[in-house]
Structure 1
Amino acid sequence: MESPERRRDAQETTADDLLQQVTVGIFAMNLEGICTHVNPAAAAMFGYKVSELLGADIHSLLHSRHADGSFYDRASCPFLKSALTGEEVRNANEVLWTKSGDPVPVFGSAMPLPNSGGTVVTIQDGSTLRHLQERLEHVQYEQTEVLRQRDAAARIECDLAKEKELRQREVAVATERAATQQLRAQQRAAEDRLLQSEKLAAVGRLAASISHEINNPLEAVTNLLYIVRNDSSISAEANEYLRTAETELARVSQIVSQTLRFQRSGTNPTEVVPETLIDSVLSLHQGRLHHRRIQIRRRHRPSSAFRCAEGDVRQILNNLVGNAIDAMSKEGGTLTLRTCPARDRRTGQPGFRILVSDTGHGMPRHTSSHIFEPFYTTKGANGSGLGLWISNTLANRMGGRISVRSRTGGGRHGGTTFSVFIPDAVAPQQQSFEDERTARAA
């Protein structure tokens, strides 16, 4: 018959074998908190060897600090309390510390040993459980959200079905009335746009009138300066100042004369030289170009005079040059103007092409696709949205067209290029804005 000692040794051996196989961290400690048993899973969880934990004060070694690093009193330790009071502890959310000093969130349970004293503590890695819990909560939230959206979609579908049924009953009697109202709305919108254009034209005529009135005093001042400069009693230094004043007055007179030409030039074709036309437009923007420190590059292929509506072409170039200046920053940039003889690819009509390129910030594709629409602007309150629309309208009336190519980014790799093709010796359609309004209303 087997002796009690041998039976007890066999039971302890079996218990130790079981501890070696369990993957959950398990250790036992006596009433003083000294570790009496520990399995490899618990030792590996905290970076220790089994031999380093056996006989050690578990609380001092693994549980002496809170998660924020503050001191953890032994009297507050739930595992030591379990050993002393004999009360069971379940899933205590605690932080234990590894051998290297890293915190490990755990869920610990303690089962007191009534006969031998002390307690057995099981440890589970809390990060995995917390992740699973958070995942479960997220899945529950998604399920709730899906149900909520399903109910909302069902309500919306029901409402849409009712609305569709109502519309189908009304559409038979309302179709003609709706079409008529839509046509009237389009006519009113067209009239509003044409009225705005006429207002701008009136402003242009007013500017021309003011320029004409300025011309008279300018001529008088110029004549007076000439008389004074020919006075023999004037010193050489004063004479030089008078010559400078005459030069500046000549610039003012040129700008005024150019403004008058903008208004007086009609739609009848006249012979112009593209290079001369560009120079006259640049003279109007000389102040802004100098202030913005913008360099001008001219690249002209030799060409003879062309017949075109000079005033319309001048207005197109004025808008394009002004927009190019606005697109470049105050740190400067380069404005390139190129001219060359060309032909319309579709009709073969001869003419000339003008390209206006800047090194500004450029335009994204969704912006460049709308720039020729009336009242579309990217300048906010500083723009009317009519400049490019009017320019495109003028080019189309002459049988020409305007195209654009742009890249964002600015500098050497960005900027915008407008290409203007103007046919030669083609009289534009004799149709004013008023004629357009009459034709659209008919």
Structure 2
Amino acid sequence: MTNDDQSADLARQRSRPSPLVEQELEQLRRQHQLILNAVGEGVYGLDLDGNVTFVNPAAAAMIDWPVEELIGKSMHAVLHHSHVDGSHYQREDCPIYQAFQDGSTRRVANEVFWRKDGTSFPVEYISTPMHDEDGQLVGAVVTFRDITKRRWAEAILQRTNEELEHKVQQRTAKLREANQQLRELSEMRSRFVAMVCHEFRNPLNNIALSVSSLNRYETQLSGADKADYLLAINDNVERMTQMIDDILVIGKIEAKVLEVSPQPLELVTFCQALLAEREYQRSPAPIKFHCRSRQLMAHLDERLLRSILSNLLSNAMRYTPDDNPIRLKLAKRQDILILQVEDEGMGIPQADKRLLFEPFHRGRNVSNIPGTGLGLSIVKQFVDLQQGTLQVVSKVGQGSTFTVRLPLRLTPSVSVP
């Protein structure tokens, strides 16, 4: 052996690790491998070309590839080749490979990786550059996790929050509605108290005045004068009685204890008899009745129908000058009864039409004409109870026409328990 050969052999022996060092290195490699195998997250290493240098079992299992088949492959082509919508993912745009260019760590939580069978799953990953002992960039380590369950939980949480928010909004709306109803009820009670005080005070004052006059001037009054005073007392008593009846009816309707009892009824005779009553006598322009039929049979609740017509006629008389005409029209069209009350009175302002059928509401142009504001509310609810419709056409200074349409024969379902 030459001196040169001896020198080379000696150099190799000096550069070779001792058996103890080799044993420690092997043990360290095994520990690293055990750690990689035990990690639940996917971990793989890449060289500068983007090819796999190592991959742990968790990563291989998540993408359904054998570990040995991944070594040396382009990992971008294996699991990062497409966006979530299936469109091609350019390698140059991939954050993992951008880490090779600037040496910075990239964290991404809004992309997907693809399995071998072509299905995808949402991932969160970190791409960390790797450097050698001299500080040279040699590749990258990518750690990723499947966040399907987390996305599912987030979706459930979001949906739950949305449902909760919707319920809160519904409850808030109901509370607002309830508060509004309470305010309206309070306003209605105030109007009711004011109306009752006003409407009862006037007839009571008239009764008291008539009684006082009868007592004071009994010997001076003629029989006709006394009869007039008694008639005025009777009228005022009837007025208060009617108001009490109207209030009781409104209460029954709201409590849903009013029953509808349809019976056979001949309407022509019914209307003529109603107009013949003293309270509907009118001079110098009597109420005119129009009907082309001599007889018109129906199956309705006579009590409710009487209240409907009485209120409409009373309103027409109250708000129409004595010499202006009022008409009651009766007609039949197929199986529908049509009742119309027309007047040429003061009419209804446009601003009042929206609240026309609300209890205690009175038009702003009624001035000091007495009234409770209950009549049209009762009419509307009685029409509804009999499955009918109520329409009004009115113009200030020209009059109003109220049209009631009712089925000629009520069905049993209209009864209110």
Q: TM-score, normalised by structure 1?
A: 0.40
Between Structure 1 and Structure 2, the one with more helix by share is: 1
Give the alignment's TM-score, normalised by structure 2.
0.42
Higher Cα radius of gyration: 2
